[in-house]
Structure 1
């Protein structure tokens, strides 16, 4: 029974530890994920600011290039004949070198088109029309007609001048240029100087977004990839058109990946980018990419009123992009694994210590219980031996008693004879009453307490009925502990009175499936004592030499056998304890 209790207690402790550590695991996991999210958002904010600064800076840089292109065009106007027919390609080549631009092209207006008529670039497709260049063609007509451009599209408008953003050359899809177009009406052509993307690329490499992304990746242990996405064109892939020569021409303005790289791809990236862009909320996913566990975050960034040049597939400006960050989730798992190895070691040590302590406690409890049983059994044996020794002494002295009676009868000592026989029969009756209790262990205890009462000059009367059916075992030992403590408690109380008032009565009987003990003794404050917490450990109405454990032990034994105990102040200066135990 006790082993089962200890096993259950240890099992409960282990289960509590496991539940506690499971909860700790998930709380730690959530905490680490939150920390990673916080780190990613902090990095995203830095990159967002970098994107804003870089693109605004690039815009200002392009505006400055546009102004320089206008200056080159004005200088070329003064150097060239106002009639395009009198200008040669060789003149344009020399002039472009002097003015430090890539090339200069002159655009001529025909009846139904505007064509590239003269150029310093030997690869330029002279005679090629621009009618399909939307919105460039509109801008060219406005320059020829109004001398100024008023289209609402990305580009830079200055007096008699317009410049579009950097874009792929239709005549050379492998090259990216920025063109400037000037016409003030003094010539019959538009002057078109242009420069390559190299200048802006060098600027962006030094101060741009890609540089910031590379620094962020290098400084972060968990960050794997950063991508700046155009949400309008991302799902459609690279934006390409077919030029007049039938070649595919990709346009950088509508490119889906604006900055960074895009190596960690998921099938649901299109949907997540669209969800973040439309909802304006961060979207986070936890997935495996090529066997690597990653956390991917889609962060919408809105740039309203910030002049960011981002366009949809139709070339219309939009005011938002999506910043995508990929982090290595394995770092979180490694931290969790490391912590749980430590926790596992702690659990093993604590469990081992708990088992050792439990084993020591169980062994101590078993030894204490065995020792208590041995002491009770030894007491039982000693008291039984004492009782049988008294019986043997009576038998041994029987002849002496007979001889004494005979002599007193011969001498006609009737009074002495009556007194002697009365004393002799009282001793024999007492011994017989003890033997008739029916249970040797209880009989031995009562025999001992009678002897103790005689020595204390206490009038101890006891009556037993029907205890012969009690079997020897732990129950009998418990009954002896209970009776012994009750009798000792009564003896302690009556010893405080004169001999004439030292009265203790014990009645025990077995009937109706119950064992009942009733013990009463003299007690001058019976009413007050009966209302006291008699059965609490440490409570005592006696002096400090008593530990107040006797009645507490009695109550524990009664509770153990699901019995009842009641206390009554039965009459003036008398207290009674009644115990009923089911059998």
Structure 2
């Protein structure tokens, strides 16, 4: 099932990548073609303006009145047409319609000559631009008779500022597609690099995703091992408590049978005090923390060690439950080991404190211990440390696990050893 999901993920990713790449190629081709058209059109607009500036407007006005061809004007247009190798150089008449009329034209051959008043193929949009006295250029026009071309035009204005028509040029444009193809071909290396880069990013994402899942599995495995270990200790404690309870019942039964009611009452009161010892010092609502601390309390009691919990009325847990188990299971195990072997002036007591400080919580464990200089230096080193030899792999790497977990939450660890008292403080 997992392999199928990975296959679907890869196929989908490569499909999206292919679509994006093709879209980029199409966009590049279109933008290149438009840029080429615009550049060519602007070049010929400048030429058309030069032609208009050199035109004999008085002779052209006489032609408009008589509608008789003016050889001098036609020759002038032909000279420019030949010089710039254009398809047509011609003038247009603008009237009330959206169709411009060809007036005088310079053409490649006599067969191509256009009669005066011949309807022009310039689109209505550009005709309306010309009526407003604006220059214009068209998109590529494909015509069965005249081929593939684009047209530019500038207004013809006399000395008095009156618009007489339009000076237009038609330019052969079949080569523009080849120019766009050439630009695309020259950029193939860039496109190839883009594709390779995208594939590398995709693979990197896939590898990082797989690594993250593996890391999560490892963390989950460690947490499960820790949780199973603590649950085993709880079950062991429950069995022990059940056995002790049966013994207490037998003692009470014996005292009652002997009618020593005062002794039975005193014994029962002591049992009540002992059963409430944990409840009086431990007021924690988090079920995972409660199980952990209860198991450690039972362990400490079995070794003759007093374990006290000093917490705020409002508990502050700044970490996930499994990470809390990782930290305090190892801290308390090490504290219990050190206190069990301690033979000094301090009582065999461990104090675990939670204290809120603003947005952070300070956790500390304090216990008596006698540590050599080497043992003090070994605390929180990469290889970990335990003050008591233990075959449990989790115990041997206890402080290393604590350091890694605290680092995960960008917290800090402080270690203090003074007057045979060890204090480890964690701020998260």
* Shorter-chain TM band: 0.3 to 0.5
Greater helix share, structure number: 2
